[in-house]
Structure 1
Amino acid sequence: MGEENITRIHLDGKEYILIGTAHVSKNSAEQVKEVIEAERPDSVCIELDEQRYQAISEGSKWKEMDIIQVIKEKKASLLLMNLAISSFQNRMANQLNIRAGSEMIQGIASAKEVGANLVLADRNIQITFSRIWGNLGFWGKANLLTSVIASIFSKESITEEELEKMKEQDTINAMLNEFTESFPRLKTPLINERDQYLAQKIKEAPGEKIVAVLGAAHVPGIKEEIKKEQDLDRLTALPPKSVVPKIIGWSLPILILAMIVYTFIASPSAGFDQTISWILWNGSFAALGTAIALGHPLTILTAFVAAPITTLHPLLAAGWFAGLTQAYIRRPSVKDFETLSKDVFTVKGFWRNKVSRILLIVVLCNLGTTVGLFIGGTDVIKTFLENL
């Protein structure tokens, strides 16, 4: 690996040395070490946020996580995506017998060796996910979760030569590449905004000589964005919540309840059948999703009972109740948290680990409930129209 992966920028009396790396490559880590030792910069910027830095420098902090709190804070889907990305990166690194993020680890170590300031230059990954999430409708979110989870179970192998070609993408981009082709607007929060954020953090790094260790996908964008002033407050603001989902969320259950009440008045027997249909469709699909995630029998029963009720209340979700039930019945042990990042390498491990199984229960139960809502709602409308 030579100078072709290094970009030098002179701007406002400062020198910026950008190293374009692959996030799982021995060569990248070696080059980072060589460049920092040769240049002895005032600051070293790495493409990590505080959360990922802690995970790399202190090891996995999964064992400190409160899974019940995660469910209550409605973060199960985001955590599942985090796990998927960790699994994707670690699987490639494991195949090549190197540690994931070794070039960032080397950047941290080399910065200490030469006495340089260490700058965590990337945007918080939860903000990036939230801004991606905010650009999607319901089916887009379901599609994204499906593609991310599917990537966990991919058995495709990759050579280090092929890996070097992946310099066009960082880990998150590599996973979501096909999805951004289907949803081009996701390129903005995923790549463009991070280019702007990284560029500003690099520009603000103390000293006159700055080395930045970056996924090579970001280098072209940063070369342009570093010439401008970026508004970090704008780039870290959470997307405003649209009122449309709220309107639909409240209107749909009110409409369904009104139809059921009218049908009961017009024909009590038809109203009874209509109610039973609603309960069975919603409950059955929620229970099916929970069963696919290998939930405890009581968890499956909870999903069945909760779904017909929670679908009529936009602030509640059957998956939360099912996940909490599973967490109380099969509470994860310290070992489950410690082995989580390794267990998600395989389908069997993903279902075996009590933590990842709870997350799957929340997500699959909610997906099942949504299917049940559409089918059950259609049946309610059909019965209503027949009794007009």
Structure 2
Amino acid sequence: MSDECNVVDFDENLRLVGTAHVSSKSVETVKAQILEYSPDVVAVELCDSRLSTLREPETLDSEDLLKIIKEGKSAMILLQSALAVQQRKMGLSTGEKPGAELLAAVEGAEESQIPYEMIDRDVVITLKRAWHKMGIMEKWRVVNTLLFDDEEEEVSIEEVLEDSDMMSKLMEEARGVAPNAGEVLIDERDTFLAARIQQIRGRGKVLAVVGAGHLEGIIENLNLPDIEVTSKLPTLSLEPPKRIWPKILLASIPLFLFGALGYMALNGEMAQIRQTAVTWLVLNAALAGIGVILARGHPLSALVGALASPITSLNPTLAAGWFAGYTQFKLDGPTVRDAKDFLAMDDISLFWKNRVGKVLMVTTMGNVGSMAGAWIAGGAIIGILIG
């Protein structure tokens, strides 16, 4: 390791620069290293979509928001936004936007007319793999930590930059909250980044700009035989397979309900039929409505979600949250300013205060409430059958 903080000469043709994604010092270090090392190619811990976002801030219009609701991506967008908030909080104290040093690496390479390579996995694939890997309790811990944990340990960015072990320690602490997500976000990406570096090493001197927390893992992988690392790229580049069991469970709900009603009808149990119908309607409607209320949605949005839930719970292609979210969108439509504020979000509270955030929260919580209502109602109906 050189005297410069987190600059590692792996060999004479490969230099690794470990950065903090919210540090002005990292920006300066990256620019200086490009000039000092004079690489033949610069490798940057970015994917094409993240580079595009850094260069041209994202936009979000009404059609985009409605598409998110319809495609059921509200929860994923909220998770991605919550992660961004945590990073922006650190960036605000240093005066740098997250990823500024990675953009500086690309721009520095362009200014010096040096080829550059994006070596990170697509961020959407990474998030999907992480979400797929986590169990229910792990997802809850992640959401709870992102949304409700206000305890912040004072960590100096400059101290982190001067001590790569500290960055690794911080990442390991994050792994403690979500070990399966940590495997995807840390271990898999260490391997992916190292494999991509191996792929371009034949092009001369390589300067690789990566997060300081990945340095140790990348070096470990680079010390392995090339073929052992690069052979993993195809698998690591795949989106996770879609689980079949949720669809089976969703399809089983109407079969169970109508089967129960049919059984009661055959036995002439009219009182139980009425009780079953009331149980299904009340629990579905109540919990979907409560979900929307917890998201601080408009009362009419809660009413629409409540009315839709008993029906949508019987149709796997529909979701009560979609109707509640669309109603919220129509009643309290986000402005251009709301969209800009949401995309630049630096405070979790904007999930409830910002109109875009509120539409997404209403959609997500409406769906969660409806799902809970269906399962609780199902349990209650089983009780009626055997009671």
TM-score range for the pair, normalised by the shorter chain length: 0.7 to 0.9
Counterpart residue number, 1:187: 182
Counterpart residue number, 2:241: 240
> For 1:320 and 1:154, how far apart are their aligned partners in 2?
34
> For 1:137 and 1:314, how far apart are their aligned partners in 2?
22
> For 1:175 and 1:369, how far apart are their aligned partners in 2?
35
Counterpart residue number, 2:59: 61
Q: Choose the corresponding residue for 1:269, options 265, 268, 271.
A: 271
Residues 356, 68 of structure 1: CA spacing in aligned structure 2 closer, same or farther, 3 A cutoff?
A: same
Asked if 1 retains the 8 angstrom alpha-carbon contact of 2:295 and 2:352, the reply is yes
Instruction: Give CA deviations for 1:283-318 in whole Å, capped at 9, x if unaligned.
Output: 111111111212222211111012122222333321
Identity of paired residues, percent? 30
Residues 225, 157 of structure 1: CA spacing in aligned structure 2 closer, same or farther, 3 A cutoff?
A: closer
Asked if 2 retains the 8 angstrom alpha-carbon contact of 1:262 and 1:384, the reply is no
Structure 2: tracts of 5 or more residues without a match: none
**1:108 is matched by which residue type in structure 2?**
V
> For 1:33 and 1:374, how far apart are their aligned partners in 2?
56
Report how far residue 106 of structure 1 moved: 2.1
2:99 matched to 1:112? no
Report how far residue 356 of structure 1 moved: 1.0
> For 2:263 and 2:165, how far apart are their aligned partners in 1?
59
Instruction: Give CA deviations for 1:250-291 in whole Å, capped at 9, x if unaligned.
Output: 224322332233335542122212211221111111111111
> For 1:100 and 1:212, how far apart are their aligned partners in 2?
18
Q: Which stretch shows the higher mean deviation, 129-138 or 113-122?
A: 129-138
Counterpart residue number, 1:304: 306
Residues 344, 137 of structure 1: CA spacing in aligned structure 2 closer, same or farther, 3 A cutoff?
A: same
Structure 1: tracts of 5 or more residues without a match: none
Counterpart residue number, 2:195: 200
TM-score, normalised to structure 2, is 0.87
2:73 matched to 1:90? no
Q: What SS class does the counterpart of residue 314 from structure 1 fall into?
A: coil
> For 2:162 and 2:317, how far apart are their aligned partners in 1?
45
Report how far residue 219 of structure 1 moved: 1.5
Report how far residue 192 of structure 1 moved: 2.1
Counterpart residue number, 2:286: 284
Q: How many residues align?
A: 379
Report how far residue 218 of structure 1 moved: 1.5
Instruction: Give CA deviations for 1:107-149 in whole Å, capped at 9, x if unaligned.
Output: 1232122221121111111101111122234454444434333
1:336-375 to 2 correspondences below 5 Å? 336-347=338-349, 349-375=350-376
Report how far residue 243 of structure 1 moved: 2.7
**1:70 is matched by which residue type in structure 2?**
I
Counterpart residue number, 1:326: 328
Counterpart residue number, 1:74: 72
Q: What SS class does the counterpart of residue 106 from structure 1 fall into?
A: helix
**1:215 is matched by which residue type in structure 2?**
G
TM-score, normalised to structure 1, is 0.87
Report how far residue 177 of structure 1 moved: 4.7
Residues 211, 96 of structure 1: CA spacing in aligned structure 2 closer, same or farther, 3 A cutoff?
A: same
Q: Choose the corresponding residue for 1:46, options 39, 44, 47.
A: 44
